A = this chain, B = another copy of it.
Amino acid sequence: MKYSGQIRTLVAVDCIILGFDGEEYKLLLIQRGFAPEKKKWSLMGGFIQPTETLEEAAIRILKQLTGLENVYMEQLHTFSDPNRDPVERTIAVAYFALVDIQKYEKQISKEFHAEWFSLKDTPELIFDHNQMIEMAKNRLRYKAAFHPILFELLPDKFTLPQLQALYEGLYDTLFDRRNFSRKLLSTGLFIKQKEKEKETSKKGAFYYKLDQDRYLSDFQAFLKFIPNPDKLMYQEA
């Protein structure tokens, strides 16, 4: 301790882990195993360790809970209300992660009493975790309107109707099927497969895959995935 006269604070990382089950958005929560607020639902989190960065901590915590690595994750915001944790002042850095819900390893959930909740029906959480989730939702809405980020939630192969459900679910609205597919396909990000998905409809819908090269090179490009984005996005909390 060489900067004298300054306080030192606990720094925690909290992970907002989002998935999509084909119908609706899901949020992975754990039942807190220790006081305070034991048994209450909470985001998965942990304290930063001496030799790791925040990002490394977030990756560590995500892996602990889901078994997943190489997952899309970004820093969301740092929360600092002096009384946000009643036990002791803790600065919390929130990260949000987008995972393919099917890759999630269930056996791990037992250790933490984890469960997927509908994002629309999030329970009351400890501390400021509900606020974090609100912010993550807004960030995702914003980013997904212009960048091909939602594909992190889908398996390798997906159909146009699945894609549309993904976008409609996020913005809680309906898009015109014809205009939607034209807009999406015009990005050139998708490669049509020869097989069809035939579980959900008689005719079956062609599978598509992401063109990985284009996906990487165009991730920052400014695409427009939805019409009238300003009417569908909300201010960050």
Interface positions of A (Cβ within 8 A of B): 1-3, 6-11, 47-55, 75, 77-78, 80-82, 87-91, 93, 220-223, 229-230, 233-235
Complex copy number for this chain: 2
Alpha-carbon distance between A10 and B9 when the two chains are bound, in angstroms? 6
Chain B residues near A87 (CB-CB < 8 A): 2-3
Chain B residues near A234 (CB-CB < 8 A): 220
Minimal Cβ-Cβ distance residue in B for A3: B88
Q: Report yes or no: A91 in contact with B8, Cβ–Cβ below 8 A.
A: no
Chain B residues near A47 (CB-CB < 8 A): 3, 6-7
Minimal Cβ-Cβ distance residue in B for A57: B80
Q: Report yes or no: A51 in contact with B82, Cβ–Cβ below 8 A.
A: yes
CB distance from A54 to the nearest CB of B (A): 4
Q: Report yes or no: A233 in contact with B229, Cβ–Cβ below 8 A.
A: no
CB distance from A48 to the nearest CB of B (A): 7
Alpha-carbon distance between A153 and B77 when the two chains are bound, in angstroms? 24
A9 and B7 contact, Cβ closer than 8 Å, known pairs A48-B80, A78-B54, A233-B222: no
Minimal Cβ-Cβ distance residue in B for A74: B236
Chain B residues near A55 (CB-CB < 8 A): 80
CB distance from A47 to the nearest CB of B (A): 5
Q: Report yes or no: A9 in contact with B222, Cβ–Cβ below 8 A.
A: no
Chain B residues near A220 (CB-CB < 8 A): 230, 233-235
Alpha-carbon distance between A44 and B90 when the two chains are bound, in angstroms? 24
25 A-B pairs with CB atoms under 8 Å apart are A1-B88, A2-B88, A3-B87, A3-B88, A3-B90, A6-B10, A7-B47, A7-B48, A7-B49, A8-B9, A9-B9, A9-B48, A11-B11, A11-B91, A48-B80, A48-B91, A50-B82, A51-B82, A52-B82, A55-B80, A75-B78, A220-B234, A220-B235, A222-B229, A223-B230
Chain B residues near A53 (CB-CB < 8 A): 80-82
Alpha-carbon distance between A20 and B57 when the two chains are bound, in angstroms? 38
Chain B residues near A78 (CB-CB < 8 A): 54, 75, 78, 93
CB distance from A60 to the nearest CB of B (A): 13
Chain B residues near A6 (CB-CB < 8 A): 10, 47
Alpha-carbon distance between A223 and B231 when the two chains are bound, in angstroms? 11
